[in-house]
Structures are given as structure tokens and as C-alpha cells.
């Protein structure tokens, strides 16, 4: 019985490994989505649409919670950390709004 379970578990693990390798392109960039989405959409909500801080958190919030957040009113930027990745969006001007800075 024990042997059967370990064979099944190894099989599942192998399939998972293959799947991960097959989808590596998507998987490797996935963790960055949380912080880049939050920082970009918060930046635009606050500096472009000029809504309140509370409303902008509600606007940018996702299912996965973030771990760090910094709204820099002086430098017109928003930095967010989530799933171990950090991203910053910066307000450029009234015409061009916010852009994510390069990773």
C-alpha cells in the first residue's frame, strides 16, 4: 500500500515538474503581477483620477495580499511588494499619467 502511494506521489510530482517546465515562461513572471498591478493602478487612481488613498487601495486590491506599500507624494511614485517582488510606478505628467518603472 505504502509503495503504491509513493509511486502515485512521484508520478504526480513528475507531471507537476513537466507542467512547470512547459509553463515556465508564464510561471516565472507570475509573482510580479501582484506588485506591478497594485503599484500601477494605485498610481493612476491617486495621481490621475485623484481619488482618496482609501478608495485607491480598494481599486487596486487583488486576491493575493501585498506585504509592503509606499506612496511617495514628493516623488509622485508608488512602490509595492507582493509575493517577494517589488515594483514601482511613477507619475510622469498630466498628459502621460503613470508608467511602471523597469524591473
Partner 1 sequence: MKHILILFFVLFTYQCGKDLSPFGGEVNVTPLPKRLKPEWPNPEWKVVTPESVGVSSAKLKLVDEYAFTRTGDDTDRKGRRTDAVVILRNGKLIYEKYARNFKQDKVHITWSVSKSILQTMYGIAVKDGLIKLDDPGYYHYEPLSRDEAHKKITIRHLLNMSSGLTAEEGYESGPLKSSVIAMLYTRGRQDMGSFCANLPLRSEPGTHVYYSSCDTNILSAILKKVYGKEEYDKLPFEKIFKPLGISNVTFERDGSGTYVGSSYLYLTARDLAKIGYLYLNDGIWNGERYLPEGWSSFTRTPAPGYKTTPYSEDLAEDNYTAHWYANTGVPERGIHEPWPDAPKDTFAALGHWGQMMYVIPSLDLIVVRFGDDREKAFIKNDFLKLIKESVIR
Q: Cβ(67)–Cβ(86) under 8 Å?
A: no
> Binding residues for partner 1, how many (CB under 8 A)?
29
- Mask for 36-75, x = binds partner 1 (CB under 8 A): xx--x---xx--xxxxx--x--xx----------------
DSSP H or E run through 59 = helix 53-60
In the region spanning residues 7 to 26, those forming contacts with partner 1, defined by CB under 8 A, are 23, 25-26
Which cell numbers in the block locate residue 48? 490621475
Q: Report in angstroms how near the CB of residue 54 gets to partner 1 at its nearest.
A: 8
Q: Cβ(70)–Cβ(61) under 8 Å?
A: no
Amino acid at each position: 500500500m505504502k509503495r503504491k502511494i509513493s509511486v502515485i506521489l512521484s508520478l504526480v510530482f513528475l507531471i507537476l515538474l513537466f507542467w512547470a517546465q512547459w509553463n515556465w515562461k508564464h510561471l516565472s513572471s507570475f509573482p510580479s503581477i501582484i506588485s506591478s498591478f497594485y503599484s500601477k493602478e494605485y498610481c493612476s487612481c491617486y495621481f490621475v483620477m485623484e481619488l482618496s488613498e482609501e478608495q485607491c487601495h480598494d481599486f487596486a486590491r487583488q486576491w493575493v495580499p501585498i506585504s509592503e506599500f509606499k506612496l511617495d507624494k514628493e516623488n509622485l511614485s508608488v512602490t509595492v511588494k507582493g509575493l517577494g517582488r517589488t515594483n514601482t510606478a511613477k507619475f510622469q505628467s498630466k498628459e502621460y499619467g503613470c508608467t511602471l518603472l523597469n524591473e
